[in-house]
Amino acid sequence: FFSSSCKMADTNTKIDMLQKLKASGFITFDEYQAQMNEIMQGQQQQQQVAPVQQVQQQQYVPQQMQVQVQVQQQQQPYDPYAAQYQLQQQVPQPQQEVELKPGTALCATHGKARMVSCMMQISPGVFQCMGGMECKGGSNYAPQANYSSAPLMPCSAHGKSRSLAHMTEISPGVYQCAIGFECKVPKEMLLCQVHGKRRLSTCLQLVMQTAQGNVYQCTPENQCQGQPLSAVGHKRPLTLDDIEAKRPRVPIPNLYGPDEKAICSAHGKVRALNCMQQDAAGQWVCSPDFACKTTSSSALVVAGQGGGALPSGTTATCATHGRSRSINYLQMGADGQYHCSPDNACKGGGGDAALGGAGVIGGQAICSVHGRQRSINYMTMGTDGQYRCTSDNQCKGAGSANQAASSVLGIQPILFDPKAHLKKDK
* pLDDT at residue 400 is higher than 50: no
CB contact at 8 A, 263 and 361: yes
Distance CA 214, CA 247 (A): 20
- Quick one: 316 and 237 in the same domain? no
CA angle, 24 then 27 then 28, to 5°: 110
Asked if residue 173 belongs to a domain, the reply is no
Answer whether residue 374 is part of any domain: yes
Residues 302 and 420 in one domain: yes
* DSSP character string of 222-258: GPPSS--HHHHTPPPPP-HHHHHHTSPPPPPP-TT-T
| Of 244-253, 275-284, 381-390, minimum mean pLDDT range | 244-253
With b meaning 16 or more CB within 10 Å and e meaning fewer, what string describes 188-224? eebbbbbbbbebebbbbbbeeeeeeeebbbbbeebeb
Residues 306 and 409 in one domain: yes
- The answer to whether 208 touches 216, Cβ cutoff 8 Å, is no
Question: Nearest Cα to 299, choosing from 339, 262, 327, 333?
Answer: 327
Beta carbons within 10 angstroms of residue 245's beta carbon: 9
What DSSP assignment string belongs to 57-107? Answer: HHS---HHHHHHHHHHHHHSPP-TTHHHHHHHHHSPPPPSSPPPPTTEEEB
The DSSP code for 361 is B
Q: How many CB atoms lie within 10 A of CB 409?
A: 20
Share of the chain above pLDDT 90, in %: 0
pLDDT digits (tens, 9 = 90+) for 300-354: 334 334 444 455 567 777 877 777 888 778 887 777 677 888 888 887 644 444 4
One domain, residues 205 and 308: no
How far is it, in rounded angstroms, from Cα 101 to Cα 136? 19
**pLDDT greater than 70 at residue 273:** yes
Task: Report the distance separating Cα 409 and Cα 361, nearest Å.
Answer: 10
- Tens-place pLDDT, residues 172-227: 878 888 877 877 766 677 888 888 788 887 788 888 777 667 788 888 888 888 77
Confidence label for 107 from pLDDT (cuts 50, 70 and 90)? confident
Residue 374 in 3-state DSSP? strand
Give pLDDT tens digits for 369-394: 887 878 777 888 777 767 788 888 88
Question: Three-class SS of residue 204?
Answer: strand
Integer Cα distance of 137 and 321 in angstroms: 90
Whether 158 maps to a domain, the answer reads no
Which structural domain range is residue 314 located in? Answer: 297-425
Stretch 157-167: mean pLDDT: 79
Structural domain includes residue 380: yes
404 lies in some domain: yes
Do residue 313 and residue 213 come from a single domain? no
Judgement on whether residues 201 and 320 belong to the same structural domain of the protein: no
AA identity, residue 65 = M
pTM: 0.18
* 226 and 304 together in one domain: no
- 3-state class (DSSP) for residue 264: coil
Residues 232 and 302 in one domain: no
Give the pLDDT of residue 383: 75
HSE-CB of 164 using CA atoms within 13 angstroms: 8
Same domain? 305 vs 390? yes
Local confidence band at 246 (pLDDT 50, 70, 90 cut-offs): low
Higher per-residue confidence, 255 vs 40: 40
Q: What's the number of domains the chain is made of?
A: 3
d(CA 146, CA 163): 11
Residue-wise pLDDT for 1-50, tens only, equals 455 445 445 677 777 787 778 777 778 888 888 888 887 777 777 766 65
Q: 413: exposed, middle or buried (C-beta count within 10 Å: 0-12, 13-18, 19+)?
A: middle
* 226 exposure class (CB count in 10 Å sphere: 0-12, 13-18, 19+): exposed
Are 418 and 332 members of one domain?
yes
Q: State residue 241's pLDDT score.
A: 61
What CA–CA distance (Å, rounded) separates 426 from 173? 94
State the Cα–Cα distance between residues 119 and 236, nearest whole angstrom.
Answer: 35
Give the pLDDT of residue 148. 45
Q: Is the pLDDT of residue 249 over 80?
A: no
Given pLDDT bands bounded at 50, 70 and 90, which one contains residue 361?
Answer: very low
Cβ neighbours for 41, distance < 8 A, ≥ 6 positions apart: none
The verdict on residue 260 lying in a domain is no
Cα angle 412-385-337, degrees, rounded to a multiple of 5: 95
SS3 at position 385: coil
Q: What backbone torsions phi and psi does residue 317 show, to the nearest 5 degrees? A: -105, 130
404 and 326 assigned to the same domain: yes
Are 318 and 208 in a shared domain? no
Question: Could you give the CA distance from residue 102 to residue 17 in angstroms, rounded to a whole number?
Answer: 46
pLDDT tens column, 74-88: 555 555 545 444 544
**pLDDT given for residue 9 in this prediction:** 55
What per-residue confidence (pLDDT) applies to 62? 52
Task: For residue 232, give every residue at least 6 positions away whose Cβ sits within 8 Å of its Cβ, in sequence order, or none.
Answer: none
Count of beta carbons in the 10 Å neighbourhood of residue 321: 19
d(CA 278, CA 90): 95
- For the cut 70, the answer to whether the pLDDT of residue 362 exceeds it is no
Tally of residues, the chain: 426
Q: Element (H or E) spanning 396, and its range? A: none
Please report whether residue 273 resides in a domain: no
The answer as to whether 282 is a domain residue is: no
